[in-house]
């Protein structure tokens, strides 16, 4: 049976005519409809099924109207010739073969005849689409790989740090400190409240508070005699003890077993210790005023021990900085006692104090960055997959962690945004792309530890011998990571987590300077007692009272010393690095260097803008109360 084809020759109105009219005809105002294939086929009056066959071939060829019209005319002529030769319409249709195949082949052949610009545009479009599809497929594969990845938290650094600190209970100072803190409650006593002596505004209240908390003071002194701080991360005993003492506010419910982000570990113990060290310093001030040298010595020694205990194995940088701050309270207490109440301490007590200060931390006041490395490695294990060979790729959790860690990371991936359903899709789509730009686990780990190693090596020896080139290289690398987007993304974690090593080491240097100044102040007082006057120069203290004149940590020269108006003055040239003859800066603390080490013009950036003047190390200047400090002891329910 001969095939049939649809063909409706009647569909024609002015719109159809306009559609099939060439532009040149239309411009002449003549709707010729010359390109109307239906009309052409109908006019040929071919027998069935040929009109439908021609129309099917032409329509399926999907050519331009002009091309379709040309093909239609040729096929009409072809079949007309066949009919004229005596062949039937059915036979011609059968001999013609498949109209679908004909349409496909005709289209392919006709497209080859089209203009070069059209073929170029078509090739470009195809290329673009192919690239788009390839990109889409690649991105889909990346997305699947990204969302499939899960971090493997293999280490519990809380336990590792606690294991390094664990010791027998009778060696731990913390249980005693904790008890002292529970008894102390929220009471805060600042040493400077006693600066004005019995005539001071807060004297009576401060004295009453010290008397009330005598038990806490004793516990602190006892704790300071123990060799180890013994404070543990997420220690359940802290919760239990504080709950029993109704001081739940002191500790959150973190537990080392929960293995949360190490960086989120709350250091409540060391933070609270600062408060009790201030209590000890206040008591030392009280004792100095009362002429109780033994108590001054006991309190200052306890503060020194308290400070030393902060440098426990795997101590965090925060703990170490707290240790430095507490050490500053001890030297401040010594300096003030010597300046205001020198008679409070006997020669023997002064010598004892000098030896104790000299022995502080074995004389080495450097910082340890082991825990910082642990914090970084802990973040890595929470952010990356683990291939078992130290490498891995960033995960969805990792992106969130990076964003939450701040420091310029895209807020799009932060936890708060991820909870916003409006942003969820954007995060879902963008995450694999961003992840592709973030460096691998190995790349980040290697860079972090390499930079740490380089900077620690650069800080060997006294500051004036620190490696200037290493600093510059480090600064340049950090700057690159901060400003170059690709580098910032690749080493996002490194850029955010590397501590300001130069600043931290400079904090250590400030400790060295105040320690040396305290030694000099004690030696000066002993000299004054022996000779009835101050020495003309510090060299006269050597070797009887000092092994050598300590150096100014800013430039490596001997510490500066003058006697003015009958008062000895020990000072460093300070942040501006020029000798102002012992003149203090106008604004308190502005002359204290935030940066030690070899000086270049670029170092001016590290110094306060109003740093003119010297850093007066002894006698300490009395600072007015700061606005953010309470001016009187707060009343607490426990008091």
Partner 1 sequence: MAVLKLLESGSRYGYELVEALASASDGVLDMGQSTLYPLLYNLEAQGLVKAEWRDATSARPRKYYALTAKGKKRLAHDVAQWRAVEKAMRGLGVLQPALGGATG
Sites of contact with partner 1 (CB under 8 A)? 57, 71, 73-78, 80-82, 85, 95-99, 101-102, 105-106, 108-110, 112-113
Give the Cα-Cα-Cα angle 87, 50, 76 (nearest 5 degrees): 85
Give the nearest distance from C-beta 16 to partner 1 in angstroms. 23
| Crossing angle of the two packed helices 293-309 and 268-289, in degrees rounded to 10 | 160
Residue 615's DSSP bridge partners are: 572
Following DSSP, what letter does each residue of 205-263 receive, concatenated? HHHHHHHHTHHHHHHHHHHHTSSB----TT-HHHHHHHHHTT-GGG-----GGG---GG
Give the nearest distance from C-beta 38 to partner 1 in angstroms. 18
Q: What is the Cα–Cα distance from 58 to 20, expressed in whole angstroms?
A: 14
Comparison of 95 and 627: residue with beta carbon closer to partner 1: 95
Note whether 401 and 379 are within 8 A (CB). yes
Give the nearest distance from C-beta 86 to partner 1 in angstroms. 12
Comparison of 53 and 522: residue with beta carbon closer to partner 1: 53
Within 13 Å of residue 164, how many CA atoms lie on the same side as its CB? 15
Q: What is the Cα–Cα distance from 164 to 167, expressed in whole angstroms?
A: 9
Give the nearest distance from C-beta 101 to partner 1 in angstroms. 6
Comparison of 75 and 451: residue with beta carbon closer to partner 1: 75
Going edge to edge, which strands form the sheet with 560-564?
A: 560-564, 567-572, 615-618
Nearest to 162 by CA among 33, 248, 254: 254
Q: What is the Cα–Cα distance from 318 to 310, expressed in whole angstroms?
A: 9
Q: What is the Cα–Cα distance from 432 to 437, expressed in whole angstroms?
A: 9
Note whether 346 and 210 are within 8 A (CB). no
Note whether 9 and 41 are within 8 A (CB). yes
Comparison of 112 and 621: residue with beta carbon closer to partner 1: 112
Comparison of 108 and 246: residue with beta carbon closer to partner 1: 108
Give the nearest distance from C-beta 53 to partner 1 in angstroms. 10
Q: What is the Cα–Cα distance from 371 to 311, expressed in whole angstroms?
A: 11
Give the nearest distance from C-beta 35 to partner 1 in angstroms. 15
Give the nearest distance from C-beta 1 to partner 1 in angstroms. 19
Give the nearest distance from C-beta 81 to partner 1 in angstroms. 4
Give the Cα-Cα-Cα angle 227, 233, 239 (nearest 5 degrees): 100
The two structure tokens encoding residue 333: 């207490």
Give the nearest distance from C-beta 400 to partner 1 in angstroms. 58
Give the nearest distance from C-beta 74 to partner 1 in angstroms. 5
Give the 3-state secondary structure of 302-337: HHHHHHHHCCCCCCCHHHHHHHHHHHHHHHHHHHHH
Give the nearest distance from C-beta 110 to partner 1 in angstroms. 6
Q: What SS3 class is residue 560?
A: strand
Comparison of 110 and 155: residue with beta carbon closer to partner 1: 110
Comparison of 45 and 411: residue with beta carbon closer to partner 1: 45
Give the nearest distance from C-beta 98 to partner 1 in angstroms. 6
Residue 532's DSSP bridge partners are: none
Comparison of 80 and 417: residue with beta carbon closer to partner 1: 80
Q: Which residues of 210-234 are buried (b: 16+ CB within 10 A; e: fewer)?
A: beebeebbebbbebbebebbbbbbb
- Residue 459: CB atoms within 10 A of its CB come to 24
Comparison of 115 and 421: residue with beta carbon closer to partner 1: 115
Q: What is the Cα–Cα distance from 105 to 123, expressed in whole angstroms?
A: 19
Alpha carbon of 80 to those of 22, 34, 86, 189: distances in Å? Answer: 26, 20, 10, 115
Note whether 568 and 561 are within 8 A (CB). yes
State the pairing for strand pair 615-618/567-572.
Answer: antiparallel
Residue 561's DSSP bridge partners are: 570
């Amino acid at each position: 049976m001969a095939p049939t084809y649809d063909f409706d020759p009647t569909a024609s109105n002015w719109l159809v005519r306009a559609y099939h009219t060439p532009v040149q005809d239309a411009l002449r105002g003549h709707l010729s409809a010359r390109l109307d294939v239906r009309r052409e086929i109908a006019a040929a009056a071919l027998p069935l099924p040929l009109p439908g066959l021609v129309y099917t071939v032409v329509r399926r060829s999907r050519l331009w109207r002009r091309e379709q019209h040309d093909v239609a005319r040729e096929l009409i002529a072809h079949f007309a010739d066949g009919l004229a030769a005596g062949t039937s319409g059915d036979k011609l249709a059968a001999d013609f073969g498949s109209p679908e195949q004909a349409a496909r082949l005709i289209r392919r052949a006709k497209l080859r005849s089209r203009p070069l610009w059209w073929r170029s545009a078509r090739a470009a479009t195809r290329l673009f689409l192919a690239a788009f599809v390839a990109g889409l497929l690649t991105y889909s594969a990346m997305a699947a790989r990204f969302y499939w990845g899960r971090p493997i938290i293999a280490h519990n650094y809380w336990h590792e740090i606690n294991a390094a600190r664990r010791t027998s209970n009778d060696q731990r100072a913390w249980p005693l400190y904790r008890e002292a803190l529970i008894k102390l409650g929220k009471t805060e006593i600042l040493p400077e409240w006693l600066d004005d002596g019995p005539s001071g505004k807060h004297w009576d209240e401060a004295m009453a508070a010290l008397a009330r908390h005598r038990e806490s003071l004793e516990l602190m002194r006892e704790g300071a005699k123990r060799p180890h701080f013994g404070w543990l991360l997420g220690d359940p005993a802290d919760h239990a003890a504080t709950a029993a003492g109704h001081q739940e506010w002191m500790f959150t419910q973190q537990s080392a077993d929960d293995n949360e982000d190490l960086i989120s570990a709350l250091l409540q113990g060391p933070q609270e210790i600062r408060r009790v060290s201030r209590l000890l310093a206040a008591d030392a001030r009280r004792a100095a005023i009362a002429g109780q040298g033994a108590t001054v010595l006991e309190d200052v020694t306890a503060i020194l021990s308290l400070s030393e205990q902060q440098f426990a194995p795997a101590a965090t940088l925060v703990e170490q900085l707290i240790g430095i701050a507490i050490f500053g309270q001890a030297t401040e207490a010594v300096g003030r006692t010597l300046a205001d109440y020198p008679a409070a301490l006997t020669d023997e007590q002064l010598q004892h104090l000098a030896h104790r200060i000299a022995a502080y931390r074995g004389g080495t006041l450097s910082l340890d960055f082991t825990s910082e490395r642990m914090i970084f490695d802990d973040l890595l294990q929470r952010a990356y997959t683990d291939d078992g060979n130290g490498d891995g790729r960033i995960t969805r959790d990792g992106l969130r962690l990076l964003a939450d860690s701040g420091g310029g990371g895209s807020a799009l991936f932060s936890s708060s945004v991820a909870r916003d359903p409006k942003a969820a899709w954007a995060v879902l789509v963008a995450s694999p792309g961003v992840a592709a730009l973030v460096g691998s686990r190995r790349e980040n780990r290697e860079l972090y530890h390499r930079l740490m190693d380089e900077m620690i090596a650069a800080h060997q020896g006294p500051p004036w011998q620190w490696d200037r080139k290493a600093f510059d290289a480090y600064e340049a690398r950090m700057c690159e990571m901060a400003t170059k987007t690709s580098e910032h993304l690749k080493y996002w974690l490194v850029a955010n987590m590397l501590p300001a090593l130069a600043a931290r080491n400079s904090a250590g240097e400030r400790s060295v300077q105040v320690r040396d100044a305290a030694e000099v102040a004690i030696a000066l007082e002993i000299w004054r007692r022996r000779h009835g006057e101050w020495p003309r120069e510090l060299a006269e203290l050597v070797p009887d009272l000092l092994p050598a004149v300590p150096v100014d940590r800013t430039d490596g020269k001997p510490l500066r010393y003058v006697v003015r108006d009958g008062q000895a003055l020990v000072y460093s040239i300070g942040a501006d690095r020029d000798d102002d003859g012992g003149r203090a800066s106008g604004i308190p603390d502005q002359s204290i260097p935030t940066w030690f080490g070899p000086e270049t013009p670029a170092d001016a950036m590290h110094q306060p803008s109003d740093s003119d003047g010297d850093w007066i190390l002894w006698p300490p200047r009395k600072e007015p109360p700061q606005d953010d400090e309470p001016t009187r002891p707060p009343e607490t329910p426990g008091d």
